[in-house]
Amino acid sequence: MVVSIVGALTSFFAASVGLFQNDLKRVIAYSTCSQLGYMVFISGLSHYSVSMFHLANHAVFKALLFLSAGCIIHGMSDEQDLRKMGGLLHIFPVSYIMVLIGSLALIGTPFLTGFYSKDCILELAFAKHNFLGNFCYFLGCSAAFCTSFYSFRLIFLTFVNPTNTYKSYIEHAHEAPIKMVFPLVILSLGAIFYGFLSRDLVIGLGSLYFNSVATNFYNFNLIDSEFLNSFVKNIPLIFTILGAFLSLLLINCFEVNKDFVFHKKLNARSFYIFLNKK
């Protein structure tokens, strides 16, 4: 119970802190803390093999995100502040595609790597049908909303928005050389296909033996999670879409009406500082 509660709180706390970080690598780092929370709370609910499955899946797309961030920082004269970027889509097309693939896998886009383990974790939590499982499920879905928000915020601020950087940075900005890009291509294939190819080892009705090694039969509720109501299964996806939509709305609102957003930020200053300062 303690492990589950700490894990669920960590997944939500780290995701909420990631919402308002302005350092490119720090956003990705808090995302890692959040995903570790998922792994811990599903371990607390006694599904260790699913936790390991998420660990392996997460390793692929998070390595892709961190190395892609390194390519951008390398090409931008070591600048890491998201507020001093923007408009990099045409200068860093390959890095943009890699960050996009990594982010889509991270937020649990259906049929990419993160989807198989992340949704399985949330379904297992709900299928416990007790207070602890519902607690983990609710905070896990809330963390999924935050994850989607800050992932798209990172993409918009870095690549899509009008540029806000120094002229000297743009003049010397360049895409990473092939020896830096090649590992990203391999990881991007992993971020797309790895979860699909390895899922039958861990989840689904055909995976009983692999799981029974690590999970006592009275905690084993993969079959219950398999046959949950389809609406319940889609709640994390709905939260994810809402997070992406809100991110798009706020970023566009900022570009259209900066004074309005500035005053709103001033009104919510203490909340912004609370999350930004962890």
How large is the greatest C-alpha to C-alpha distance in the chain, in angstroms?
63
In order of 3, 53, 89, 175, 191, the CA distances from 56 in angstroms are 20, 5, 30, 29, 11
Closest CA to 199 of 128, 111, 74, 81: 111
pLDDT at residue 213, rounded to an integer: 67
Closest CA to 54 of 146, 153, 140, 182: 140
pLDDT tens per residue, range 217-231: 777 788 889 899 999
pLDDT at residue 256, rounded to an integer: 65
pLDDT tens per residue, range 130-173: 999 999 999 999 999 999 999 999 999 999 988 888 888 898 89
Closest CA to 118 of 199, 27, 228: 199
Give the span between the Cα atoms of 262 and 255, in whole angstroms.
11
Q: What's the CA angle centered on 63, arms 137 and 49, to 5 degrees?
A: 45
15-25: average pLDDT: 94
pLDDT greater than 70 at residue 91: yes
Specify the range with the lowest mean pLDDT, choosing from 17-26, 89-98, 239-248, 264-273: 264-273
pLDDT tens per residue, range 246-266: 999 888 777 666 777 777 778
Give the span between the Cα atoms of 16 and 112, in whole angstroms.
24
Q: What share of the chain has pLDDT > 90, as a percent?
A: 70
Give the span between the Cα atoms of 32 and 64, in whole angstroms.
12
Closest CA to 247 of 158, 115, 163, 138: 158
Per-residue burial over 92-129, b = 16 or more CB atoms within 10 Å of its CB, e = otherwise: bebbbebbbbbbbbbbbbeebbbbbbbbbbbbbbbbbe
Q: What's the CA angle centered on 238, arms 233 and 243, to 5 degrees?
A: 140
Give the span between the Cα atoms of 79 and 85, in whole angstroms.
8
Percent helix, strand and coil across the chain, each to the nearest 5 = 80, 0, 20
Give the span between the Cα atoms of 2 and 123, in whole angstroms.
20
pLDDT greater than 80 at residue 51: yes
- Cβ atoms within 10 Å, residue 243: 24
